[in-house]
Structure formats: C-alpha cells, structure tokens
Structure 1
Amino acid sequence: MSTPFDFAADSQAGDKVGLGQYRGRVLLIVNTASKCGFTPQYAELESLYREYGERGLVVLGFPCNQFGRQEPGSAAEIGAFCEKNYGVSFPMFAKIDVNGANTHPLFAHLKSQARGVLGTRSIKWNFTKFLVKKDGSVYRRYAPRTAPRELRADIERLLAEPSPA
C-alpha cells in the first residue's frame, strides 16, 4: 500500500522532491493560498514547525489556485510572500491541483485515506490539512476552519509514538 512517502512533488524552484526523505517523521500537509481568509494560518503553521520540527514534525505547503483563484502568483511570488509576511521556513512546493482531472497524486492518495465531511473526497477549500503518522498512514483530515494550533494535541500524540522499524 502506498504512503505519502512514496510520492514526489516539484519544489518552488522546479526540482523534483521525493517525500521519502521525510520517512519516519510526522507530516502536516496543507493546500495553501496567499489571498484567502485563512492565509493568516501560515503564521500558526510556521509556529508549529518551529516548535515541533526538532522532534520530527515537517509542515509541507502546497499552493493551489483552484478555490476562488486565491493563489494567482508564480512560485517565486508565492515564496516571497510567505517568507516576507509570515516568515515561512517550512518546505513549500510548486502550485498543484488538489481536485479534478489534474489532481496531484499525493492529494489523490490523501483524499482516499481521509475523507471529508459526510464522506466526501473532494477538498472544499484552501488550508485543508492532513496529519500523517511516522509510518506514513494518514491519521486525520482537518477542515480549513480548524486552526493549526488546534492540532497540537494530535501532533504531540503522534510524535510520542515509536518510530517504525
């Protein structure tokens, strides 16, 4: 069975990044946008990354322009915006689709493992979050309205689990 560690995505610089490099770590995977009402969540995502990064949490940001065209910029513009306005230091990737015919394979996998409200697969808006255990199993999906700080107890629980053999 596949896990998020089996996928790759393009960095903002256009390089292919294998997510296998994060094997054994807890992942918080988020579809993001720079012109959304939830955009201030970048600050809390960065805070979680700084607080728990040394213990094994990696936040991965995937810009998406599918919801209200709220991520219209280029990779360079998105990266500069995130760094300047929110001090983002966690890995950000190239813009992707999370729904439809061009859904990135990682998000197709995440959606198949953790469904949304009423069992839906589709992502409904920016800042949908997926928390992935050290073994690569998808622990839980969180709605855009769920503030990243509300994930602390779940993150701590997953970080405390033994690493897979």
Structure 2
Amino acid sequence: MRYLTWRDLSIGMTFQAGPVAITPTLVSEFARITGDNAALHTQPDAAARTIYGGLVAHGMLGMSLAHGMLRQALAGLHDDLIALTAVGAWRFHAPIRASDSLLARFEIIELASHTGLPRGTATFTVTVLNGPGHNAQTGRTTLLIRTDPHSDAKATARADGSPAG
C-alpha cells in the first residue's frame, strides 16, 4: 500500500475495493442490528416465495459496505480521513443476494479545499457491483480529509468542514 496525501488526489482518480462476501449470517445480523426483520431478509423459506427467489440484503447494508470498502480503498491516506460528510443520489438498481460477492468502484469527481483550514472535501461516485458488470447500487459520497498531514484538524472540524467553536 502506497501512502497518499491530499496532494496526491485528483479529479478522475479511481479506486476499487472488495470483494466482500454477502452471507445469510451477515444479512441476518444487519436485520438484528437495524430492527428490520422483514421475512425477505430473515426467513429463507418465505424469501424463496418472493420475486427475488431467496434472501436479499437490505439496501442499506450494501450502502454501508460500500463506505467501508471506500475506507479500505483509501487506506493509503491513513489517519488523514476525518469524516463522511454527505451521501447523495443513491440508487438501488438490483437486489444484493445473500450469496453475492460485492465489489465497489470509486471515482473522484470533485475536490474542494477549505480556505485557511487544514482540510478539504473529496466527492466520489460510487458503484456497487454484485457480479461482473452488474450494478446493484450507485451514488455519491463526500469525505472530509486532512490536507496537511502535520495538522491536528480533527480537534477543530465539524462534519461539514467548518471550524468548531
């Protein structure tokens, strides 16, 4: 893994992460944690009688895993990643089945420095694939990133990037 800094990032830069195996246990645990225990997610026999023909993951599980994969893809930034600040235009195109393996692709579409502050935001398009070339989800997400690795931006940053206090 190569160490990255804010200066290494550029519009059009792409990253990929995964695979992440979707299992019935993972889907069941997500249902337990969220309280969404719909039969489609928790009861194989009932789920088999739906249009999906079996257990499917919650859409938010795919979205959550995508953000974890983004963190993995950007591991070279180490502790310079401060916070997730926005998620937008998220679309659910196809079910994620309890037997799928997910990949995620990310492309930087916007970089914005915060004048006078040691941080900026990077906005990414996100594509979650549940098979070769099969888009399950797409969206956009924005991360707050330290622009000066020698600063202690986390002590003074709000989620929107403005100074605290």
TM-score by length of 2: 0.25
Structure holding more helix per residue: 1
The structure, 1 or 2, with the larger RCO (C-alpha pairs under 8 Å, 6+ apart) is 1
Structure holding more strand per residue: 2
